Structure 1
Amino acid sequence: MDQVLVFDVNETLIDLESMNPLFERIFGDARVVREWFGQLITYSMTTTLSGRWTDFFALGQGVLGMLADVHGVEITPGDVDDVTEAMRTMPAHPDVEAGLTMLRDAGFRLVTLTNSPAVPGVPTPLEHAGLASYFERRFTVEAARAYKPAPQVYHLVTQGLGVPPSACLMVTCHVWDAVGAQSAGFSAGLITRRGNAPLPVAALPQPGFAAPDLPSLAGQIIEGRPG
């Protein structure tokens, strides 16, 4: 059976730090983008664990307002709109197309699994980044009304493609995503992008592959594929 590579999108494929100038303008400190994204992931998990649901962009707007209160900054409706638009239009990391081309040419099936919603009539972040054509399917968490790393989110891929979890390898720069995928029966590869690193805790599964960029990880995956 062909192996399916399941790609996270936000920060793994597209560049979160492209939003730095926007956060510098709003908060006077570009580093707040990391605080914002970390809180966004925390509260996406919170909505799932508490049995509630709202989409990722709405949650991002809410977290922005929360951080404005925390930092004592006044934000305008225009600032909120600018952050929402930036969430949809972040560019790809410069290494991504080369890595995707390597994996596609090696015969892997490529799909995505993202927290970002698909808005009818609005180009997706992948489309804005020029990456959509690499992927056979693009799965979003909306179908499960839960966020990663909930097991049912990863099952969207296996059910949608009709493959077992053992056929899937999650490619992500987030340890929490890798742990979730591995707990659902996937294997995992970790891209250690800036701000991300392995978590050396023995009780948690460790990714089978790890590299600082996608071409390096692709090389490991291609070399490590069963013959």
Structure 2
Amino acid sequence: MPLAKPVSMIVFDVNETLLDITTLEPLFQRVFGSGTVLREWFAQLILYSQTMTLSGLYTPFGALAVGTLRMVADTRGVSVGDDDVEELKARMAAMPAHADAAPALDRLREAGFRLVTLTNSAGGESPTPLERAGLGEFFERSFSVEAVRKFKPAPETYRLVAGEMGVATSELCLVACHLWDTIGAQAAGCRGALVTRPLNAVLPAADVPMPDLVAPDLGALAGKIAGHWRPS
């Protein structure tokens, strides 16, 4: 039996992993009186994106984001107007990169890895959120789950990247700050690397795949990846 090829391509999640979603907090502070509602909204957004996929349904991530904002508002007896929706869209399109993103990407590229992204967000015209954040130049390709009309962690999303790039899933390592994402990637045959940004951690429970690598920031994680899987 031939030996499996080493990891040659790093697949990055985008929202919160590379781009800082905390810049949405002023909207939630103004509408709800607390910026911490951002986390409730984001968790519900992920929950219902996954629910749609499990139910065999699909609605673009941006539309779900707006709908989830209105849903959270309804549960709190708060009114959300068209101006609030437009502000959400504008802020989501202009999220800045985390300070550790560009140096980590540069290190991985210099180490010989190919870099791509995979996001639940829909694709769009240039300039994309990654380009606005100054990170577009690092990536060979950017993939959206809209191509398979399923949200992560559906296995089809990770296999999309492998198929389009002409590599085996075992040659991919997904980098994300959400454990549900690395679990999905590993279940599809990829490797998983978790960056434990605030409020993200591993899940110590039976049969839950642990990430291959874990680090508190992208710089440390890039160092671990380069030392563990440096391409030949």
Specify the TM-score bucket, using the shorter chain as the normaliser: over 0.9
1:148 and 2:149 aligned: no
For 2:227 and 2:156, the matched residues in 1 are separated by 30
* 1:57-76 correspondence to structure 2 within 5 Å: 57-76=62-81
Q: Residue 127 of structure 1: which of 128, 131, 145 is its match? A: 131
Q: How does 1:92-131 map to 2 (within 5 A)?
A: 92-119=97-124, 121=125, 123-131=127-135
Please state whether the residue corresponding to 2:69 is helix, strand or coil: helix
Q: How does 1:177-188 map to 2 (within 5 A)?
A: 177-188=181-192
**1:146-185 map, 5 Å:** 146-185=150-189
Give the match's secondary structure for 2:193: strand
Instruction: Count residues with an aligned counterpart.
Output: 226
1:110-144 deviation line (CA, Å, top 9, x unaligned): 0000001113x353221121101100010000000
Q: Which runs of 5+ in 2 are unaligned?
A: none
Q: Give the RMSD, CA atoms, in angstroms.
A: 1.1
Of the three residues 15, 20, 26, the one matched with 1:10 is 15
Equivalent residue of 1:189, what SS? strand
The corresponding residue for 2:30 is: 25
TM-score by length of 1: 0.97
- CA drift of 1:26 comes to 1.1
Select which of 18, 38, 61 maps to 2:43.
38
Contact kept? 2:25, 2:36, Cα under 8 Å: yes
Task: Give per-residue Cα distances to partners, 1:156-189, cap 9 Å, x unaligned.
Answer: 1010001001100000000000000000000010
Opposite residue 131 of structure 2, the aligned amino acid is: E
Deviations 1:31-63 (A, max 9, x none): 000000000000000111111111000000000
Question: How far, CA to CA, are the matches of 2:177 and 2:129 in structure 1?
Answer: 17
Determine which of 91, 100, 103 is the counterpart of 1:86.
Answer: 91
Structure 1 runs of 4+ with >3 Å offset: none
Partner AA of 2:218 in structure 1: L
Are 2:229 and 1:225 aligned? yes
Q: How much has 1:145 moved relative to structure 2?
A: 0.3
**Matched-pair contact (CA < 8 Å) for 2:174–2:191:** yes
1:104 alignment partner, SS class = helix
Question: How many Å apart are 1:195 and its aligned residue?
Answer: 1.2
- What TM-score, normalized by structure 2, do the two folds share? 0.95
Distance 1:88 1:198 in 2: 29
Deviations 1:52-76 (A, max 9, x none): 1110000000000001101111111
- C-alpha distance in 1 between matches for 2:15 and 2:205: 24
Name the SS of the counterpart of 1:130 in structure 2: coil
> How far, CA to CA, are the matches of 1:17 and 1:191 in structure 2?
16
Aligned partner letter, 2:214: A
Task: Report if aligned partners of 2:13, 2:176 keep a CA contact under 8 Å in 1.
Answer: yes
Aligned-partner Cα distance in 1 for 2:224–2:123: 31
User: What are the ranges of 5 or more consecutive residues in structure 1 without an aligned counterpart?
Assistant: none
Q: Percent identity?
A: 52
